[in-house]
Amino acid sequence: MKKGKNICIYTFLLALLISCTEQEKKMSASYKRFRESKIRFDKYNEFNTNFVFKEVTGIGYEEGVTRRDPSSVIMVDSVYYVWYSRPQVNTPLVGPNDATDSTRAFHWDLCDIWYATSTDGYDWEEQGIAVHRGPKGRYDHRSVFTTDILVADGKYYLAYQAAENLKQARWSEWTKTSGDFNKNVIGMSWADNPNGPWHALEEPILKVGPEIAWDGEVVHDPTFVVRNGKYFMYYKSAGRVPWKPNISNGDFTKEFADMPNAIIGVAVSEKPTGPYIKSEYNPVLIGGHECIVWPYRKGVCAFLTEGPEANSIQFSEDGINFYPVKHGLEKPEAGGVYRAGNFTDTDSLPGQGITWGLSHVLGEWNFLRRFECDLSLEKGNRVLADYDK
């Protein structure tokens, strides 16, 4: 009798297993992807937002002046601060082969880092140069540009791209991986006060990797998240990977897999000024360009503007392993977000999320504008509370 009952149970379980497997087989690729992905449907997705753009004064459009690649925005004593690239000369762009000591190859050539302040985030007052290009012979002589701010241990740190020399080449010989300078590094200056004076470190804090490495040509767009007393500096490189793809369909014949124009890695340090050790997991984001990162909950969010996952928000628990949590957003180009509260201090966790920032608009004269979104932790908690009902 008992044996019969067992047989019945086994048969039932077997039937259940078969029917589950059958069901599995009948899932379409799209449905399967949806089930496996971590993206919740909009109403219950705490990362669901729109980016809305607004003009600003003081650092907005101005004929004859280029301002671009804004840093994160911080608040000190009720005043907002932002830093950005601004070329000292406003000559037309002539390309790398024809540029001289006083004519620009690109918008980001012959730049200094300028800063502006505001009490409402809309009307800005340009304050002047924060970080000057360095003396002849130093790593930052040709241009300092594309900066981000880190506040730690009661001090202010600006990290930025720095270049000693232009790489002379014709426009027609330019390739996406070649880099604009010979070769650029990431430099850093520190100050006791956001208004300066700024002191440049004698040596760069990050250099390109070996020739064959994914970051062998350039290191760009530094931006920070502080986790448990460690400084995570995300940076972009030109997008190639040092392994031969094992793909048999014949699509890939090159030594280097074709990658998006920009991919992101991270380097971690115990101190703001370094040494920054590049993660063995690099690259950590396939795509990006001027990647925006911000601490969120106990992890890190990133917004990617390029690559196969362009215009997506990505989330990572550990700052290394990211997955998309929202696709298809309009992009704040080269955005720097307002880092509210404990955002840039020695530990920015749990991250409070973001609600606005500044991004740039390209054209003959580049300029800054404001973007707004709703990615605050407060809103996230509200959405998830609804979801749990």
For ligand AAL, give the closer residue by CB, 259 or 334. Answer: 334
What's the rounded Cα separation, in Å, for the pair 222 and 71?
9
For ligand AAL, give the closer residue by CB, 122 or 365. Answer: 365
Smallest separation (angstroms) from ligand AAL to the CB of 191 = 22
For ligand AAL, give the closer residue by CB, 332 or 351. Answer: 332
- Considering only residues 56 through 75, tell me which ones interact with ligand AAL, judged by CB under 6 A: 69
Q: Are 180 and 96 in contact (CB under 8 A)?
A: yes
For ligand AAL, give the closer residue by CB, 69 or 148. Answer: 69
Q: How many alpha carbons lie under 13 Å from residue 38 in its C-beta half-sphere?
A: 12
What's the rounded Cα separation, in Å, for the pair 324 and 312?
6
Give bridge partners of residue 114 from the DSSP assignment.
84, 129
Q: How many alpha carbons lie under 13 Å from residue 96 in its C-beta half-sphere?
A: 18
What does the block give as tokens for 333?
């180009």
Smallest separation (angstroms) from ligand AAL to the CB of 84 = 11
Pick the closest to residue 234 from 219, 251, 222 (CA basis).
222
2 phi, psi to nearest 5 deg: -65, -35
- The phi-psi region of residue 78 (left if phi > 0; otherwise alpha if psi is between -120 and 50; otherwise beta) is left
Smallest separation (angstroms) from ligand AAL to the CB of 177 = 13
- Considering only residues 103 through 142, tell me which ones interact with ligand AAL, judged by CB under 6 A: 108
Amino acid identity of residue 389, one-letter, is K
Smallest separation (angstroms) from ligand AAL to the CB of 107 = 7
Smallest separation (angstroms) from ligand AAL to the CB of 231 = 21
Smallest separation (angstroms) from ligand AAL to the CB of 93 = 13
Smallest separation (angstroms) from ligand AAL to the CB of 119 = 29
For ligand AAL, give the closer residue by CB, 236 or 339. Answer: 236
Residue whose entry in the numeric block shows the structure tokens 């067992």: 6
Pick the closest to residue 231 from 288, 184, 295 (CA basis).
295
What does the block give as tokens for 266?
């991270």
Torsion of Cα atoms, 85 then 262 then 303 then 111, to 10°: 0
Q: Is the peptide bond before 275 cis (omega within 30 degrees of 0)?
A: yes
For ligand AAL, give the closer residue by CB, 145 or 231. Answer: 145
From 146, 223, 305, 359, residue interacting with ligand AAL (rule: CB under 6 A): 146
Query: Degrees (nearest 5) of the Cα angle 333, 293, 245?
Result: 85
Which positions from 311 to 350 touch ligand AAL by CB under 6 A, shown as an x/- string? -----------------------x----------------
Torsion of Cα atoms, 321 then 327 then 329 then 331, to 10°: 40
Smallest separation (angstroms) from ligand AAL to the CB of 246 = 31
Which positions from 155 to 194 touch ligand AAL by CB under 6 A, shown as an x/- string? ------x---------------------------------
From 220, 227, 240, 369, residue interacting with ligand AAL (rule: CB under 6 A): 220
Smallest separation (angstroms) from ligand AAL to the CB of 85 = 7
Residue 263 lies near ligand AAL (rule: CB under 6 A): no
Amino acid identity of residue 333, one-letter, is E
- Counting residues that bind ligand AAL (by CB under 6 A) gives 11
Q: Is the peptide bond before 183 cis (omega within 30 degrees of 0)?
A: yes
What's the rounded Cα separation, in Å, for the pair 114 and 233?
21
Q: Are 214 and 220 in contact (CB under 8 A)?
A: no
For ligand AAL, give the closer residue by CB, 220 or 370. Answer: 220
Smallest separation (angstroms) from ligand AAL to the CB of 292 = 12
From 46, 290, 306, 309, residue interacting with ligand AAL (rule: CB under 6 A): 290
From 221, 306, 309, 374, residue interacting with ligand AAL (rule: CB under 6 A): 221
Where along the sequence are the contacts to ligand AAL (CB under 6 A)?
A: 69, 108, 145-146, 161, 220-221, 236, 289-290, 334
